[in-house]
Amino acid sequence: MKMSRIAIILFGAALMFSASAFAGNANRGTLHLGDTLTVDGIPLQPGDYKVEWNGNGPDVTVELLKGRDTVATFPAHLAEQSQPNDADAYGSSDEPNGGKALTAIYFGGKHYVLQVQPHAAKQQNASNQNSSPSK
């Protein structure tokens, strides 16, 4: 009887630890940049980065880390895809100054993509500069 209790306790502990380990890795990934890109106005040099995000919905906050240092924090939209991504990858777009901006982060084997969103304050400033006051 004692042996079965010990086995049940050990089995339960193993389930608990495996669930917490899985949950801890659910919002993490890696990113390898082959190009110099910018994200939210911050230049990113080619190399390997850790990607972590927080949020309770499709809109999340992403942190890019180089080693233990956070190099960029920006908003993103977590979008589901019907097919898993073939490999880790990223999307970029050309900027008016000739550079490239990070637009998306794909994780190999996952059914989701992080779509980089511009900050609301920057969007509002841009629209304020483009509009003229009426008199």
**DSSP letter for each residue of 75-110:** EEEEEE-SS-BSS-EEEEEE-TTS-EEEEEEE-BT-
- Residue spans per domain, the chain: 28-130
pLDDT band at 1 (very low <50, low <70, confident <90, very high): low
- What is the DSSP secondary structure assignment for residue 122, as one 8-state letter? H
Each residue of 84-128: pLDDT tens digit?
Answer: 999 999 999 999 999 999 999 999 999 999 999 876 434 444 444
Each residue of 37-91: pLDDT tens digit?
Answer: 999 999 999 999 999 999 988 999 999 999 999 999 999 999 999 999 999 999 9
pTM exceeds 0.85: no
Closest CA to 73 of 89, 48, 50, 98: 50
- What is the DSSP secondary structure assignment for residue 49, as one 8-state letter? E
123 CB-near residues (< 8 Å, 6+ apart)? none
DSSP run (H or E) holding 11? helix 2-25
* Contact between residue 73 and residue 53 where contact means Cβ atoms under 8 Å apart: no
